[in-house]
Chain A
């Protein structure tokens, strides 16, 4: 059963508008969430993260929101640029015995297309 779900395989937005990518999770033990960005022919690269003790983290044009009660997080990109066109993966992890962070569990990804 999928623990991290990205229900939208694709999203298309106009340049300059807001892109909102959504992610849901089922495991209440997850305490750290990340977004990765992947261009074709490249490996995924870390974009932004959020700890479960926060509900918002912002880095330039990128903001991640976490709603723990709904087990939902979202990535907002404002304003969207054509260079943001990529596949975005949501990922989550939980602390394991000994206090270290466990393996990342990835969603299936959402392909974002930003049209000029």
Chain B
């Protein structure tokens, strides 16, 4: 099994619908992140969480919300999806005491029509 699992892998949804992307990890890391990737824009941070009770906005949090249900689970919600939220979404984890970077999930390709 993957260390960081994202579900679903692909999703097409309609404008205005609420959608949740889920992420779970088995690495025992305390930090979790949500990024989105758009062509030519690289990886941009949406939200991050240092532990269950510590959730912070990233650079592009508008239109998104998150929930850290447990140490191993971090979900991203789009309350009312819009077409410019069509992107590839990645969840990542890291350990605060380590400096060797993040472990990423395989991504969720979201299309809002």
Residues in B49-74 with C-beta less than 8 Å from chain A: 58
Identify which of B92, B98, B104, B106 contacts A41 (C-beta below 8 A).
Answer: B106
- Count of chain A residues near B, Cβ 8 A: 24
Chain B CB within 8 A of A68 CB: no
Q: Does A103 lie within 8 Å of B43, measured CB to CB?
A: no
CB distance from A83 to the nearest CB of B (A): 19
Q: Does B99 lie within 8 Å of A103, measured CB to CB?
A: no
Q: Does B107 lie within 8 Å of A104, measured CB to CB?
A: no
Which partner residue on chain B sits nearest A35 by CB separation?
A: B101
Chain B CB within 8 A of A101 CB: yes
Identify which of B43, B102, B107 contacts A42 (C-beta below 8 A).
Answer: B107
Chain A CB within 8 A of B112 CB: no
Q: Does A104 lie within 8 Å of B102, measured CB to CB?
A: yes
Q: In the complex, A36→B100 CA distance in Å?
A: 11
Q: In the complex, A109→B38 CA distance in Å?
A: 11
CB distance from B91 to the nearest CB of A (A): 8
9 examples of A-B residue contacts, CB within 8 angstroms: A41-B106, A42-B107, A43-B90, A44-B90, A44-B104, A49-B100, A91-B101, A101-B99, A108-B40
